[in-house]
């Protein structure tokens, strides 16, 4: 059923999955409506117990544009007896395929359906997505707000965002900020760094790790020497050879290699595949190394802060408050107070008295008259 409704009769859906609307695209839509009219009606359903008799299901951008243009009436498709869930699904279905819906809004919409009892498989079937797509989107909901905003702005791509979402809130900020400020040459490097941080979270704290035994140290030393020796030979022999081949023309190599050309091509193809594999492994290793370094620096900073706080506490002088002596109001009270003082400190007073007795008394000043007479 279609009808022209007053815009004031339509209430927006508070559960609308889209929370942000691109102002530039909204201005573009306003221009289109002003020039050609509303080409697609909004979708509403009748509701009771609210100020407006109709609730918007789909078309909030259109409703906003028409409101901004000063229109009082808008064409609407009215769906009667629509269940809350169906109405919400219709709203999501309209928005989920749009390019301007942020990935975090999409994830929030799927999460609401999951909370309503929908499985990822059912959600995927409803919207023509894969189950993996739904699961990965739902995984983004563990991002802390600052990182989610970076994802919404396109500063962090969806694939990397998922890997960052697996980290603790503190490490999410570490990985996100290092990627945004350009510490990595590629998204893959940032992903390996995030995975390295995840490994450090799952392992024992660096401060609790046991030192390697002499045997383990020797094994590490031999493995390091062997690997470095092999990579050194590759750098000395293989790279110059490949550089030399790269400078030659194909027609020259066809003559030089002759019947062995096909065999050499197979060797280089295998070599290329192995190089790609090793490059990926080394990139992951670099990510783990960077993550370990970041974890170590964080632990070192915490230790430094604790030491500084301890030094500050030790440097502060102890200012124990002495109890105020009672004020004597009469001669009897004054005598009692004077008598009570030495008995309260009797244990300390006796040794002190012996020390005073043996100490040299200070010289008395000679009165002025006696001093002049002596002259």
Residues labelled as active-site residues: 60
d(CA 182, CA 70): 46
End-to-end CA distance of the chain: 131
Q: Is the distance from CB of 191 to CB of 163 less than 8 angstroms?
A: yes
**C-alpha neighbours within 13 Å on the C-beta side of residue 316:** 8
In this structure, what DSSP letter does residue 259 have?
Answer: G
Q: String of b and e for 83-120 (b: at least 16 CB within 10 Å)?
A: eeeebbbbbbebbbeeeebbbbbbbbbbbbbbeeebeb
d(CA 45, CA 43): 7
Angle between helix 169-180 and 145-152 (nearest 10): 30
Angle at CA of residue 189, ends 188 and 195, nearest 5°: 90
d(CA 290, CA 346): 66
| Helix, strand and coil percent figures for the chain, each rounded to 5 | 65, 5, 25
Q: Taking the CA atoms of the chain, what radius of gyration do you get in angstroms?
A: 40
The closest of 8, 1, 13, 3 to 71, measured between CA atoms, is: 8
348 CA to centre of own chain: 61
């Amino acid at each position: 059923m279609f009808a022209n409704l007053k815009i004031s009769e339509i209430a927006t859906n508070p559960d609308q999955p889209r929370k942000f609307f691109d102002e530039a695209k909204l201005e573009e839509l306003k221009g289109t409506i002003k020039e050609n009219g509303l080409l697609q009606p909004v979708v509403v359903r009748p509701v009771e117990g609210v100020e407006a008799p109709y609730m918007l299901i789909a078309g909030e951008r259109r409703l906003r544009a028409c409101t901004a243009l000063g229109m009082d009436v808008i064409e609407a498709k009215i769906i009667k007896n629509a269940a809350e869930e169906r109405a919400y699904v219709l709203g999501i279905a309209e928005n989920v395929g749009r390019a301007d819906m942020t990935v975090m809004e999409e994830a929030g919409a799927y999460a609401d359906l999951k909370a309503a009892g929908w499985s990822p498989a059912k959600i995927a079937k409803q919207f023509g997505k894969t189950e993996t797509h739904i699961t990965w989107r739902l995984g983004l909901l563990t991002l802390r707000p600052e990182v989610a905003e970076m994802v919404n702005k396109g500063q962090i791509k969806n694939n990397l965002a998922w890997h960052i979402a697996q980290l603790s809130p503190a490490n999410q900020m570490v990985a996100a900020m290092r990627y945004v400020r350009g510490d990595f040459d590629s998204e893959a490097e940032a992903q390996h760094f995030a995975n390295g941080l995840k490994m450090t979270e799952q392992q024992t704290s660096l401060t609790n790790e046991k030192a390697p035994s002499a045997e383990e140290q020797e094994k590490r030393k031999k493995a390091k020497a062997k690997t470095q020796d092999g990579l050194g030979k590759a750098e000395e022999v293989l790279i110059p050879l490949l550089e030399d081949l790269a400078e030659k023309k194909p027609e020259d190599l066809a003559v030089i290699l002759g019947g062995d050309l096909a065999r050499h091509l197979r060797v280089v193809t295998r070599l290329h595949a192995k190089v790609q594999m090793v490059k990926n492994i080394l990139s992951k290793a670099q990510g783990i190394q960077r993550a370990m370094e970041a974890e170590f620096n964080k632990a070192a900073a915490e230790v430094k802060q604790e030491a500084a706080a301890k030094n500050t506490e030790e440097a502060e002088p102890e200012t124990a408050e002495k109890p105020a002596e009672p004020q004597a109001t009469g001669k009897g009270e004054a005598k009692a107070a004077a008598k009570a003082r030495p008995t309260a400190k009797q244990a300390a007073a006796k040794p002190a008295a012996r020390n005073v007795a043996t100490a040299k008394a200070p010289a008395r000043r000679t009165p002025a008259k006696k001093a002049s007479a002596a002259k």
